Each structure stands twice: as structure tokens, then as C-alpha cells.
Chains A and B, each alone.
Chain A
């Protein structure tokens, strides 16, 4: 079974803090993604990485950065957290090619509250 894990289920941070959200997958997937999910807005792509040290901006990258130093780990960084970044953050991974490359697996999510 594919497993995508995220470092925390719940996180509370103060405005201005630097926040790290970690995601690890154990299936040697090339592609990894960070989304945020907000009521009425659905899942929106923040950043994605198609291989180690590769990254591309998604639809809402402002205020975020990412790091992919190892294939299994994809980190989302909030350089200076703000209250409008309070959200559910979901990590996902997917094989780049091959028979099951269409299926994207999600982690359990991190509910971040910025006060």
C-alpha cells in the first residue's frame, strides 16, 4: 500500500512565524504536490515537484516555498505565516509514468491555524 505521511495533523502557529510542513511518501514516486483546501474553494495547488530538486509553482504559490532534497520528502515552507494561511494542507504523490501513474495518493492533511 502506498503511504503518504505528513508531520502533523494539527498545528497552531503565530503570525510571522516560519512554518515547516513535511510530507514523506514510501513508494518511490517522482511527482509530489502540495494543496490547500478551504470551504467553498476546493483543493488548490500551491506547488509541485516532478523530481528531486525540481519544483514548479501551482496556482497559489504566493507566501509559500518548497524544498525537495530527497525523492521521498517534499517540504512546504511558510516564510512568515499570516492568518489567511489558516487552512487544511494536503500533500499528494504520484508515479510519473506507467500503468498507475494516473492515481494520486493523498496524505492525511495538516490543519494549520495561524493566530
Chain B
């Protein structure tokens, strides 16, 4: 079956570092994505990992271990505007196009 797990909620302090974990079990794998979604808005793309290792992009980094079915999103120097839901998604093989399978999202609250 297809399963993507991530924590429902997390709280962190402004200026700190937070790590949001994601584990997955899917029938196929063609990349893992992280999206950010502010309340009432559309998800926006943050990162994409298809090979093992760490991808860094400014304050955000994403890590992938395909053998462990595991990824994390690391947010450094947290700001209040980082309060949002973070969605982990796996690109599966399927049909004529690769579908994204989403986790339920992790709601991050950044406190002063």
C-alpha cells in the first residue's frame, strides 16, 4: 500500500532550528517533495530530492535516505512567517504521468 507519515503538529521558537520528519512506503519512488502551505493558501514548492543526501537552499534543507524510506526538512533561523503546514509528498510511478502522493502535513507553529 501507499503510506506517508509525518507528525501532525510541531512547535518551535523564533530563531531556533526545527526538523520535520517524513517516512514513506510506496510501491514506486521517483522523488520526494516538500511543500509549504500557509493557512488558506495554495501549497508552494520548497524542495525536491531524488538521490540520497542533503539538498540545501538558504534556510531550508531537505534530506533523503531511500533505503530507509525517510526524509526530513530542516528549517534554520526560524521566523514567524515560517508558521505554516509542511507537506511531504512522494512521486510514484503510475500511468502516463507520475502522481504525487501526499502526507497529511505537519502544522508548524513558531512562537516568539
Contact = CB atoms under 8 A, between A and B. Distances in A.
A90 to B, nearest CB: 6
Judged by DSSP, the binding face of B is loop
A50 interface: yes
Interface residues of B, number: 22
B42 A107 contact: yes
A4 B103 CA distance: 22
A40 B95 contact: no
B29 to A, nearest CB: 13
A2 to B, nearest CB: 10
A103 B42 contact: no
B45 A90 contact: no
B100 A104 contact: yes
Interface of B: 31, 33, 40-45, 48, 50, 87, 89, 91, 95-97, 99-100, 102-105
22 contacts: A41-B104, A42-B104, A42-B105, A43-B87, A43-B100, A43-B102, A45-B100, A50-B97, A56-B96, A90-B42, A90-B43, A102-B48, A102-B91, A103-B45, A103-B48, A104-B33, A104-B45, A106-B42, A106-B44, A108-B42, A109-B40, A109-B42
